[in-house]
Structure 1
Amino acid sequence: MTPFWVSAFLDLADDDFARGVVFWAEVTGYRVSSPRGDSEEFATLVPPQGDDFLRVQKLAVGPSRIHLDVHVDDPQVAAEEAVALGARVVHRSRHGYVVVASPGGFVYCLVAHPAGVRPPPAGWPGGSSLVDQVCLDIPAAGFDEECAFWQAVTGWELQEAGPEFRRLVRPAGIPLRLLLQRLDDPAGQVSAHLDLASSDRAAEAARHERLGARVLSVNEHWTVLADPAGSAYCITDRDPETGLLP
């Protein structure tokens, strides 16, 4: 069942939640919604234009991480299709969504929340930027299996993107691209991080540093940073409008 929208959840540890929400709201320029949930553990980062695709969750236990919401017409049917491809169901919610783990252990949710208008990049002094990609960090031993799984789940074309990267070609209007990275570590669980597209990577990195991030490394086409809670993410040279390298 092909998704019609993809959202990313920043799952923040209790001690990281307040500063993490403030940081990502300032980075994106998005408004933080009123909290919701039984313990007011959820909120949405609401863009000035278009539909939301970034949300935050306060975790009761465990370290900060990222998970995806894959929006489909029928989460129950999509869950059965995912299981047939090698996934396992973690939880079926009374609210209608299904929590699933990929063959490599990456947890995501199948939801039916409506959305369809991709927000434009945000403009800043010196350029523009947009959170527009989730990179799945995949241990080497399970890389081919995980790539095949996500290609089948999404129905998107899988392309080679370098020695250790493959990408899924998102349809027009979807807010988040999916990049698949093969790690040097042979084993372990699949994790994920966020990537931003930026028209001026150096200026964007400097802006993030002023907001409390730390630069971890500078590479040919991307800069790795850590947010104030210590979670890694990347700013890339990709065009914020197209998502592609210029």
Structure 2
Amino acid sequence: MGIKWIWAFLDTVEGDADASEAFWQNVTRTRISTRRGEREEFATLIPEGGDPWVKVQRVFSGGGVHLDLDVDDVGAGAAEAARLGATVVHRYPDGTVIVMRSPGGFTFCITSWAHAGSPTTQIRIGEPDLLDQVCLDIPSTLFDQECSFWEKLTGWNRRPAGREFERLARPDGIPIGLLLQRLDTVTGEVGAHVDFACHDRGASRVTHEAAGATFVGEPNPDEWTVMRDPVGRVYCLTRRSP
């Protein structure tokens, strides 16, 4: 499909959005852009250097995390996703965005590379931590199908990354990696959370707690720390280097 850029979207219910956006600006060391959309529901988190890769959206219900995949040809990209098992949820009238759901029910968008402004550079050097990965949380009965879908859609090679994980090999120049987690849960829809790569997880935990996050636990103390943001969104600090 030729993915040019990936955006991690943090979707938050209207009433919680101010607190959520303040927190995520703080821990990603970004500022929020001018709002856009019919309800001014969309904004981008702008880093001090390089191009952005995280956006926020105010929603009426639900919330969570979704992905936008920038491609040259939105229609062709959506057609390929549909051929692989995704379903169309909504088409924007101007043709720049098609909202879809994966075979396991995870929401993502096929979006216009040209419309997004063709970002090219993510700054990693000198960052203490970096929101650079989305982990898809997949019920066990859906795991093989969902992994196959994302491997074929992205064209990225899939490899084991532990007992319950598989990883897609992110190409150079793409800001967000994809990790696929097999849950103990048998049924349900695919969800997602974001992960930070951290030079020092302990130091990042202190910084995030000072910004309003709470510590949830360390199911694998050598690898990751589970946190919760001020509005209840779970995410992880990992030992991967930025």
Normalised-by-shorter TM-score class:
over 0.9
Residue 14 of structure 1: CA displacement?
1.2
Is residue 219 of structure 2 the alignment partner of residue 213 of structure 1? no
1:9·1:69 contact (CA, 8 Å) conserved in 2?
A: yes
Pick from 113, 119, 123: which aligns with 1:115?
119
Partner amino acid, structure 2, of 1:119: I
Partner amino acid, structure 2, of 1:55: K
Is residue 24 of structure 2 the alignment partner of residue 24 of structure 1? yes
Residue 47 of structure 1: CA displacement?
1.0
Partner in structure 2 of residue 244 of structure 1: none
Partner in structure 2 of residue 243 of structure 1: none
Distance in 1, Cα, partners of 2:5 & 2:66: 14
Distance in 2, Cα, partners of 1:154 & 1:119: 23
Partner in structure 1 of residue 39 of structure 2: 39
Structure 1 unaligned segments of length 5 or more: list them.
Answer: 241-246
For 1:43, what is the secondary structure of its paired residue? Answer: strand
Number of aligned residue pairs? 235
Is residue 204 of structure 2 the alignment partner of residue 200 of structure 1? no
Is residue 234 of structure 2 the alignment partner of residue 235 of structure 1? no
Q: Deviations over 1:46-91 (max 9, x none)?
A: 111111110001102x122101000111111011111110111111
For 2:193, what is the secondary structure of its paired residue? Answer: strand
1:50·1:120 contact (CA, 8 Å) conserved in 2?
A: no
Residue 120 of structure 1: CA displacement?
2.2
Partner amino acid, structure 1, of 2:135: C
For 1:180, what is the secondary structure of its paired residue? Answer: strand
For 1:216, what is the secondary structure of its paired residue? Answer: strand
1:44·1:55 contact (CA, 8 Å) conserved in 2?
A: yes
Partner in structure 2 of residue 222 of structure 1: 224
Partner amino acid, structure 2, of 1:12: T
For 2:232, what is the secondary structure of its paired residue? Answer: coil
Distance in 2, Cα, partners of 1:208 & 1:179: 22
Residue 121 of structure 1: CA displacement?
5.2
Residue 163 of structure 1: CA displacement?
0.7
Q: Deviations over 1:133-190 (max 9, x none)?
A: 0000000001000000000000001010011000000000110000000000011000
Identical counterparts, % of pairs: 47
Distance in 2, Cα, partners of 1:50 & 1:224: 28
For 1:132, what is the secondary structure of its paired residue? Answer: strand
Partner amino acid, structure 2, of 1:118: Q
- Aligned alpha-carbon RMSD (Å): 1.0
Distance in 2, Cα, partners of 1:185 & 1:135: 16
Partner in structure 2 of residue 51 of structure 1: 51
**Comparing 7-16 with 132-141, which one deviates more in the overlay?**
7-16
Residue 122 of structure 1: CA displacement?
5.6
Partner amino acid, structure 1, of 2:150: W
Distance in 1, Cα, partners of 2:9 & 2:73: 20
Residue 94 of structure 1: CA displacement?
1.2
Residue 210 of structure 1: CA displacement?
0.6
Partner in structure 2 of residue 75 of structure 1: 74
Q: Deviations over 1:173-221 (max 9, x none)?
A: 1100000000000110000000000000011001100110000002321
**Comparing 44-53 with 17-26, which one deviates more in the overlay?**
44-53
